[in-house]
Structure 1
Amino acid sequence: MELLEQIEDYWTDRAEGYSQVNQEELAGDNRTNWRRELESHFPENRTNETYKILDIGTGPGFFSIILAEAGYSVMAVDYTEAMLEEAKKNAGALAKKITYRQMDAQHLDFADETFDAVVSRNLTWNLEDPAQAYKEWMRVLKKGGVLLNYDANWYHHLFDAEKRAEYEKDREMVTESGLEDHYTCTDIDTMEEIARQVPLSRIGRPQWDQNVLEKLGAEHITVDAEVWKQVWSEVEKVNYHSTPMFGIEAVK
């Protein structure tokens, strides 16, 4: 089976469970925290209704929901049909204000300079060709537009003994805290098999991302290595202590 098919099959099987995670986020402080984080990067003189945002790898729709709720013009894309169905259900009445498209993040079916902003979360690490994805994201971004990507060095523990020890410590802390383990409650064997094949599981980030975006001609690049402190719930902070989320802003 081709790697892209493996990835699609995994996330199809995971769609319902991942959707529950998004529902918990929407019901808690994450909803407000993430909206505040995203909007802090948008221009102050924007008109929300005409500000066009592309949410890539929308999954069960968390970003698209909070952005549509704030009145933005949102296009949500995902490669997995089951994820888009969950995204529509989670959006409820807001689904009418969001356009959904099934699409490969590495090959977008949009014209050049279509969007004012491109946003993504926890996607890049899971791609076969993340550099090609960044190229596409920058292509569809308007001049002066902003790309916001949030990710982490997921699954580096498969290739680094020190990271493995930190990962195991996280699992212990989750158990001791009586929390749900966001790793072991999934099909971890299948996910690790995929993680061993995708390139970013063993590449240091966000330095890699900065280098790629510089080569693509981004005018201004900013990295926030501590964005996780502002947007993660306490449960996430325990689950992912050894893999803190970073944020990247690239202005075209």
Structure 2
Amino acid sequence: MNDSFNHIIHPKEDDKTFITSYWTERAKDFRKLREKELQSPKLLLWRDELVKHMEGKSNLRILDIGCGAGFFSIILSQLGHTVMGIDITPNMIEESKLLAQSVGSTAQFAVMDAENLNFDDNTFDIIVARNVTWNLPHPDQAYKEWLRVLKSGGMILNYDAEHAKNHHHLPQSVHNAHEHIKSELLEKCHTIYHMLSISGTDRPEWDKQLLESYDATVTIDSTVGPRIYAEEDEFYIPVPMFLVKAIKNF
């Protein structure tokens, strides 16, 4: 690993417990929101977004990291792929199973840490993630693990945003993904922003340089947010979303 990335500070172990407790409190409402999203125009937008990177390939083995309530897992399983969704929060996995069952999805789910994967090397064709990396205590370790379980020539599609930066100064929107969250939970989310070192990095440039140091070919797409979140609705994310796409070269 390039020495220039050694500035990433590894937080205390109980930081991960704090993060998990936040998502535990959000799990049930999060599933309800994803259920609505699966019935909204966002479904087609995200499906088209994911499909364009698959290059017509079928029955891929896909790992959905930090799957939450299983939105990506469900979409990809319905496209005919073999999908495993993982999340460190047990309540989220329970909600993802409920949602998947309700729509007849074949996706499988398991409780697992995104930074310590219980899979063999070279297992998956594609790894997907949405709004995950920003709340990882050890993102450098996570990326290393993701590449480990990816097949040679396999692909990471990591959709994320700089949620922590300037979160006190975001423009007010009528509707957004946080509009129904209790103020105490929002404060907990803001605490996560402040306690993780990734919040102070310049992204997605940081991701690109790190992944390239791990021998991956990386491209960045900064148009994802404007394309998918052009409308201020209950799924709206005011922070511009980007895609970090990485191809494993080893």
TM-score of the two chains, using structure 2 as the length reference: 0.87
> 2:163: which partner in 1?
154
Q: Is the 8 A contact 2:176 2:234 kept in 1?
A: no
Structure 1 residues 108-123: aligned runs within 5 Å: 108-123=117-132
Aligned pair in 2 of structure 1 residues 181, 29: CA closer, same or farther (>3 Å)?
Answer: closer
Paired residue for 2:198, among 185, 197, 200?
200
- Cα displacement string for residues 119-161 of structure 1 (whole angstroms, at most 9, x for unaligned residues): 0000000000001000000111001111000000002126xxx
Q: Is the 8 A contact 1:88 1:95 kept in 2?
A: no
Q: Is the 8 A contact 1:112 1:140 kept in 2?
A: yes
- Mapped pair 1:222 → 2:249: no
Instruction: Quote how far apart the aligned CAs of 1:240 are.
Output: 3.4
Paired residue for 1:212, among 196, 210, 230?
210
Structure 1 residues 1-252: aligned runs within 5 Å: 2-44=14-56, 46-48=57-59, 51-92=60-101, 97-157=106-166, 164-165=168-169, 167=170, 170-171=171-172, 173-174=173-174, 179=175, 182=178, 185-186=181-182, 187-218=185-216, 220-232=217-229, 234-235=231-232, 239-241=236-238, 243-252=239-248
Q: Is the 8 A contact 1:41 1:146 kept in 2?
A: no
- Cα displacement string for residues 54-84 of structure 1 (whole angstroms, at most 9, x for unaligned residues): 0000000000000111110001100011001
Which has more helix, going by share of residues? 1
- Cα displacement string for residues 24-66 of structure 1 (whole angstroms, at most 9, x for unaligned residues): 210101111111111111133x232xx1000000000000000
Aligned pair in 2 of structure 1 residues 183, 2: CA closer, same or farther (>3 Å)?
Answer: farther
Unaligned 5+ segments in structure 2 are 1-12
Q: Which amino acid aligns with 1:15?
A: A
For residues 94 and 230 of structure 1, what CA distance do their matches in structure 2 show? 26
Q: Which moved more, 1:227-236 or 1:102-111?
A: 227-236
Aligned pair in 2 of structure 1 residues 237, 222: CA closer, same or farther (>3 Å)?
Answer: farther
Q: Which amino acid aligns with 2:73?
A: S
For residues 28 and 51 of structure 2, what CA distance do their matches in structure 1 show? 28
State the number of aligned residues.
234
Partner secondary structure for residue 234 of structure 1: coil
Unaligned 5+ segments in structure 1 are 159-163
Identity of aligned residues (%): 39
Q: Is the 8 A contact 1:228 1:244 kept in 2?
A: yes
Instruction: Quote how far apart the aligned CAs of 1:98 are.
Output: 1.6
Instruction: Quote how far apart the aligned CAs of 1:206 are.
Output: 0.2
For residues 143 and 233 of structure 2, what CA distance do their matches in structure 1 show? 26
